[in-house]
Amino acid sequence: MKLKLFSYNQLDTPIHRLSGFTKLVCFLFLTSAVMFTYDIRCILAITVMSYICMNVAKIRFSQVRLMFIYVLIFLATNFVLTFLFSPKYGVEIYGTEHDIFTIFGNYTLTQEQLFYQITKFSKYLSVIPLGMIFFLTTNPSEFASSLNGVGINYKACTSLSLTLRYFPDVSADYNAIKLAQQARGLDMSKKASVMSRLKNISAILAPLIFTTMDRIELISNAMDLRGFGKQKTRTWYARKPLTKADWLSMGVCLIILLAVMYVRFFVNRSFYYNPFI
């Protein structure tokens, strides 16, 4: 079976069996833990745990390869630009300066700057598997019903569910229109020039937009005919009650968040971990 980006896949794993609400809470706890610190020890620990969870959830690299490529390009660009615009920022943060070598002019690579940028790189990279786990293991309908079960309006929950379901549909429509345009002679291969490929790809946008509008109208009419929004509450076929595994997972993620906060405020006493003192 070919797996699609941002598409939920029905598998029987411990992570798939968790409630969508649980996975959202765990995602928020762990991303908050990563954002609240620049301690590379904490960040790497969460990163390793995230990739282990991806393996447990049986998420194939081929399914997320494209997203990882885009993210790595962004992170590499950010890495270079950070050094170009602030080559001494690490020195300012850690209060020491240990030169490695001079590139040219005032651009001297220091241990402090390299450590800061590696920490920053790891910080961004650690969030990616968390988002992948959430998107690829969460049934949109079950997730919406879980949110409604904790008090969120069912109209907002349904809109969120439709949005999550629409990601793979957009990807499928794009590929279908792309193949149709190629059959008509539009060259989108690597043999064509960059400008030619961009021009031909732009020809996909118009039919993609019209297809999207048609689908929105179709769904809106179907929901109106079924009386959606007429009542204050609704029932959910996909509702899943919270189990011991859900509470345990949220508890573990909360403990991780609290541990990171403890390290920040009581061990490092700073937003940054400083190995140079």
For 212-222, write each residue's pLDDT tens digit.
788 778 888 88
Give the model's confidence band at 225: pLDDT under 50 very low, under 70 low, under 90 confident, else very high: confident
Cβ neighbours, 10 Å, residue 98: 14
Give the model's confidence band at 1: pLDDT under 50 very low, under 70 low, under 90 confident, else very high: very low
Q: Do residues 29 and 254 make contact, with C-beta atoms less than 8 angstroms apart?
A: yes
Give the model's confidence band at 8: pLDDT under 50 very low, under 70 low, under 90 confident, else very high: low
Q: Residue 64: which of 129, 127, 140, 145 has the closest Cα?
A: 129
Q: How many domains does the chain have?
A: 2
Backbone phi, psi, residue 15, to 5°: -75, -40
The residues, any chain, with a CB within 8 Å of residue 254's CB and separated by 6 or more, are 29
Q: What is the pLDDT of residue 100?
A: 87
Q: Do residues 34 and 123 make contact, with C-beta atoms less than 8 angstroms apart?
A: yes
**Residues 96 and 182 reside in one and the same domain:** no
User: How does pLDDT run across 157-199, given as a tens digit for each residue?
Assistant: 888 777 777 777 777 777 788 788 777 777 666 676 777 777 7
User: How does pLDDT run across 10-46, given as a tens digit for each residue?
Assistant: 788 999 899 888 988 999 999 999 999 999 999 999 9
Q: What is the pLDDT of residue 111?
A: 92
Q: What is the pLDDT of residue 65?
A: 80
Query: Is a pLDDT exceeding 80 seen at residue 204?
Result: no
Q: Residue 13: which of 63, 50, 53 has the closest Cα?
A: 53
Vertex 106: Cα angle to 100 and 110 (nearest 5): 25
Tell me the residue range of the domain where 120 lies: 1-139+244-277
Query: Is a pLDDT exceeding 70 seen at residue 133?
Result: yes
**Residues 82 and 199 reside in one and the same domain:** no
Residue type, 267: V
**Residues 159 and 42 reside in one and the same domain:** no
**Residues 89 and 159 reside in one and the same domain:** no
Task: Give CA–CA dist 41/3, Å, rounded.
Answer: 33
| Residue for token pair 């060259």 | 187
Q: What is the pLDDT of residue 3?
A: 46
Give the model's confidence band at 114: pLDDT under 50 very low, under 70 low, under 90 confident, else very high: very high
User: How does pLDDT run across 245-261, given as a tens digit for each residue?
Assistant: 999 999 999 999 999 99
Q: What is the mean pLDDT of the chain?
A: 84
**Residues 181 and 270 reside in one and the same domain:** no
Backbone phi, psi, residue 100, to 5°: -100, -55
**Residues 107 and 227 reside in one and the same domain:** no
Q: What is the pLDDT of residue 189?
A: 65
Q: What is the pLDDT of residue 113?
A: 92
**Residues 13 and 83 reside in one and the same domain:** yes
Specify the range with the lowest mean pLDDT, choosing from 47-51, 137-141, 268-272.
137-141
Fill in the DSSP letter of residue 92.
H
**Residues 253 and 233 reside in one and the same domain:** no
- Average pLDDT of 223-240? 78
**Residues 3 and 88 reside in one and the same domain:** yes
**Residues 183 and 96 reside in one and the same domain:** no
Q: Do residues 56 and 136 make contact, with C-beta atoms less than 8 angstroms apart?
A: no
Q: What is the pLDDT of residue 142?
A: 80
